[in-house]
Structure formats: C-alpha cells, structure tokens
Structure 1
Amino acid sequence: MYKLVAIDMDGTLLREDKTISERTKKAIQSAREKDVTVVLATGRPIEGVSRYLEELNMYTDKDYVLSYNGALVQKTLNKDVIGKIALTGEDLHYLKKLSDELKVNIHAFSETKGLITPKNSKYTEVEASINNIDIHEINFDTISKDEVIVKIMMIDEPEILGPAIEKLPKEVFEKYTVVRSTPYFLEFLNKEVNKGVGVEMLAKHLGIKQEEVITFGDAGNDLHMIEYAGLGVAMANAFDEVKEAANYITDSNENDGVAKAIEKFILDK
C-alpha cells in the first residue's frame, strides 16, 4: 500500500492556466482520507505554493511541503524544518562570476533576504510573479561568504540560456546539482540536493518505506524523485528522460493525469 505521494506543481498538478482541476482535488482529498500523506514537491519557495496549500486544505499539523527542489522540507502549519541542505554566499559569488562571463542573468534565494538579484530582468519578474514575492536588487559583492543561500538560478531567454549551458565548465556539474526546470530557468543547488533527496528525507521522518512512495513529475528537476519512488509516475507531457525513468506514464496535466493515477493506484477506481 502506498503511504506517501509527492507531486510536482508546474506541468504536473497544475494545468496550463495554473489551476487544479476539481477531479484532481477530489482524488487528493480521497487519498488523504485514507491516511496517505500527500505533499507538493516544488522548485518554488513555500510562499509560491501557499495559495495551492490553502486550496487543498494542506495547512494541518500532518502536512508538509518540499520546496526549492527538496533543499527545504518543512511542516506547512508552523514551518518547522524537517531537513535543509543549502548553498553559501561563496557559491553565489562563484556562479555570479560565471554568469557574467556567459552573459546570462542570475538571481538567488537567500534565507534571510528572499529573492535577490544584482539586476532585475524579465525572468526574475516572472519568478516574483509566480511566487507572489518581492524582488530585492542587491550587489552580490555585499553578500557574506557564509550567507545561507537556498538556491541560485541563471535565468534568460531560451536561445541565450541554452548555448550558455553548453559552455558551463565540467566542474560546475561536479560541484552542484544542476537542473533545467523550464526553458528559461537553470537551477543550481547543493550537490546533495534534489527532489528525490527531499522525498527521502520526509519518508524517513514519517517512517515510510521507499516502496510505499509515489511521485509525479514532468521535468528534469523531477527526475531524481521519479527514480527514487517505489512508483515513479511521469505525465504524458513529460520530458522524454522522465518518461524513460518512470514506472508508469499517466495522462497529461491538462487531462487529470494526477487524478487518474491516484484513482488507479490508491483509490482502486
């Protein structure tokens, strides 16, 4: 029997208009009524999913959220931290220098300052809008080397970001977990961090076995948790490598793919 379900947001739980279908809401609620823990696993900060947590009634003392691609796992109600694996200001300085050389925009999430950028740009505005948070323009040279940085992102037009990724030194991939979550977002996390690690941290906290976990995803930053789960479910609209890693391919995010798989594997419909 499955006891933990971790669901990616964009391209998975959410339809293209950023809403959750009524069928999906009902399936999630029915699973929770069977004592299955259902969590949102996202690259966003918790503020970026608060309205969906409210919509799904996930602000009880039994609810958790995986944010920043698993770098931070916490309770939703009181924000108690279950697990945290972060970067530092030193990493920020290193990647800022690299972004300057590659001529791509950069921003980051500081534990104390929130969304920070040396120069506001189109896709930092997108990030702020998606998550309903403020942008803080800061000279990164003023950030101390030991500042806690949860996530760093290179953000730019796909035709700029794509060639820049090709030019990234090999050592970057050795130092960090690097995931392209959208065509215009490239994310850098602590090498030990990915959504799979986040799901594993929560599963161990709850005393749930790996084979009792279901994960849903569509993009590169979902790959680790798809591989980790007892049942990794890819959306019909998922990247090819996610489909290849999955145990099961469900319908698309536009066609209640999450609901259909929950009904099949948990609700026996």
Structure 2
Amino acid sequence: MQKSPIKAVFFDIDGTLLSFKTHEVSPSSREAIRLLQAKGIKTILSTGRSINSIDHVKFLDFDGYITFNGGYCVTKDMEILYRQTIDSQDIQSVLNYAKNNSLSFSFMSENEITIHDVTPEIAGMYAHLNLPVPKLVDLDLVDTASILQTNIFLGPEEEPAFMNEVMPNSLASRWTPLFADVNPKGQSKKIGIDIFCKHFGIDIAHTMAFGDGGNDISMLEHVQIGVAMGNANPEVKEIANYITDDVDSDGIWNALKQFQLI
C-alpha cells in the first residue's frame, strides 16, 4: 500500500485506544503513538468524554484534545481553542422533564460531572468504563448556561421523540444502546478536527482517524483515511475507508503498519 502523507492522526478513546477488557492502552498502541510523534505526526485525542475524564491517557503526550464530541478543544498546554455549550433552554427543559418523569441523565461542564437517577445498569456501565459514578445533581442548582454535554439514558427507539420534544436545539449520537451523547446541534468530532487542522496548519487531505462508535462517524467520514476498529459498530464499518483488527488485537498498530506510517 502506498505511503500516505499523513500529518495528523486522531484517536477515539473507549473501544479504540482503551480496551473494555483491560481498561488500558495496549503496549502496541503506546509504541505506535510514540513512533508517530517521533516522525513529527500530530497525535490528537478525540472523545465524547469530559475533559476531566481523560487523565489516564494523558501520559501518551497528545498534541491536543477534542473532548465532549468536539465541544471543548484544548492544546496539550490546555489552551482553549473552542468551547460550545448546549442551549440553556434545552437544559432547562431536561430539568423540567425530570421533575415530572422518570429520566436518568448526566450533565458535564468544564469543572464537574453530575448525574440524576442512577440505576444498577448505569452503575454497571461506569464500572465497565472504569470510571467513578458522578455525584448526584441538585436539579434546583444547575447552571443551565455551563453544560457542554449531557448523556441521556434512554433507548434508541425513544430518542427521536425525546430530542424533538425536550431538546430541539441539540443533537444526539451514541456508541451504546444504553445512552445518547447530546451536544449542541451542528457539533461533532468533525468540528474538532477542523479546529486542530486550522491550529496546526494541516490540510484535511493529510489526516487519519481511528474510531469504533456512532459518535465517530462524522470524524471517520471527514478525514482522508477513516479507520474502523474490528470491534466497531456495523454502521461505523460501513463508512470507514479501512477496517483494522479489534482493540485487543493490536488494531491501531496493524493499521498504521498497513499504511506505512510506522
């Protein structure tokens, strides 16, 4: 396969960099990222996670961080390049809905993550991600103008009606049937990629990305080479330029070798 002039590679976290089995970055992925950096290729994290939930992968010395699915982009020195909160009316609508209906959700801001109505299934999900269950939210004390992302815990079949009625100014994406990531309408990891391409002066034709979930689709479609992990959702594999091995079978390393980047 011909060598591609890739100058930046974007990495999702859960199911891409981090194994759900070990909750760690594999030795091969660590070495692959080190080799990319040694060649001067920018490595950028791109996740739906909060800026406060990525400390365990910062040792990889990324050049930047796309968090909240593109809503909060910062350099390795924590310079904020982009910040976009959810429409405050949508957040107030969630609060009003939760006071009258059964609804589990989490709110994420720059400073904290809070949650409402933790079910055993939700507690299990946080354990699966090796993350602590957030503190409970006080519905009467929420700063509605500060929320960068929310997770709404409902099934795919319930999502369209909820978004239309409760959060019409926002957009839902998901990588699990358990919940949807909700961000401002028009926002995605694609936006974050454009922010960093502009920041580093890199053309989109010189970019590559790895992902596995529904919230990675916009990113994989946007870059020059979109790589789906072997464990990726079927709809992610459908749009990818290349499908590699799964996260526990050196998928990142093998794809980068295939494209002669390491």
Normalising to structure 1: TM-score of the pair?
Answer: 0.85
- Map 1:12-161; keep pairs closer than 5 Å: 12-17=16-21, 18-54=23-59, 56-58=60-62, 63-76=63-76, 78-98=77-97, 103-112=102-111, 114-122=112-120, 123=122, 126-127=125-126, 130=129, 135-145=134-144, 147-155=145-153, 161=155
SS of the aligned residue for 2:158 comes to: helix
1:247 to 238, 241, 248: 241
Q: String of CA shifts for 1:21-64, please: whole Å, max 9, x gaps.
A: 1111111111111100111111111221112111x234xxxx21
1:190 aligns with 2:184: yes
Query: Residues 262 and 119 from structure 1, CA distance in 2 versus in 1: closer, same or farther, beyond 3 angstroms?
Result: same
CA shift, 1:66, in A, is: 0.9
Query: Residues 34 and 190 from structure 1, CA distance in 2 versus in 1: closer, same or farther, beyond 3 angstroms?
Result: same
Query: Residues 167 and 250 from structure 1, CA distance in 2 versus in 1: closer, same or farther, beyond 3 angstroms?
Result: same
Q: AA paired with 1:151?
A: Q
CA shift, 1:227, in A, is: 0.7
Q: How many residues align?
A: 256
Q: AA paired with 2:146?
A: V
Q: AA paired with 2:86?
A: L
Q: Is the 8 A contact 1:12 1:235 kept in 2?
A: yes
SS of the aligned residue for 1:117 comes to: strand
Query: Residues 182 and 224 from structure 1, CA distance in 2 versus in 1: closer, same or farther, beyond 3 angstroms?
Result: same
Q: Is the 8 A contact 2:90 2:170 kept in 1?
A: no
Distance in 1 between the 2:146 and 2:39 partners? 38
The two structures, once aligned, show a CA RMSD in angstroms of 2.5
CA shift, 1:151, in A, is: 0.3
Query: Residues 110 and 79 from structure 1, CA distance in 2 versus in 1: closer, same or farther, beyond 3 angstroms?
Result: same
Q: Is the 8 A contact 1:128 1:135 kept in 2?
A: no
| Identity %, equivalent residues | 27
Normalising to structure 2: TM-score of the pair?
Answer: 0.87
Distance in 1 between the 2:133 and 2:183 partners? 21
1:9 aligns with 2:13: yes
SS of the aligned residue for 1:139 comes to: coil
1:238 to 210, 229, 232: 232
Question: Which has the larger helix fraction?
Answer: 1
Q: String of CA shifts for 1:158-205, please: whole Å, max 9, x gaps.
A: xxx344225435466862221112222211101121111111111111
Q: AA paired with 1:82?
A: L
Runs of 5+ in structure 2 lacking a partner?
Answer: none
Distance in 1 between the 2:50 and 2:70 partners? 10
Query: Residues 140 and 131 from structure 1, CA distance in 2 versus in 1: closer, same or farther, beyond 3 angstroms?
Result: farther
Structure 1 counterpart of 2:193: 199
Q: AA paired with 1:66?
A: I
SS of the aligned residue for 1:236 comes to: coil
Query: Residues 169 and 86 from structure 1, CA distance in 2 versus in 1: closer, same or farther, beyond 3 angstroms?
Result: closer
Runs of 5+ in structure 1 lacking a partner?
Answer: none
Q: String of CA shifts for 1:206-245, please: whole Å, max 9, x gaps.
A: 1111110101111100000011101111112211211111
Q: AA paired with 2:208?
A: I
Distance in 2 between the 1:14 and 1:111 partners? 22
Q: AA paired with 1:148?
A: S
1:217 aligns with 2:217: no
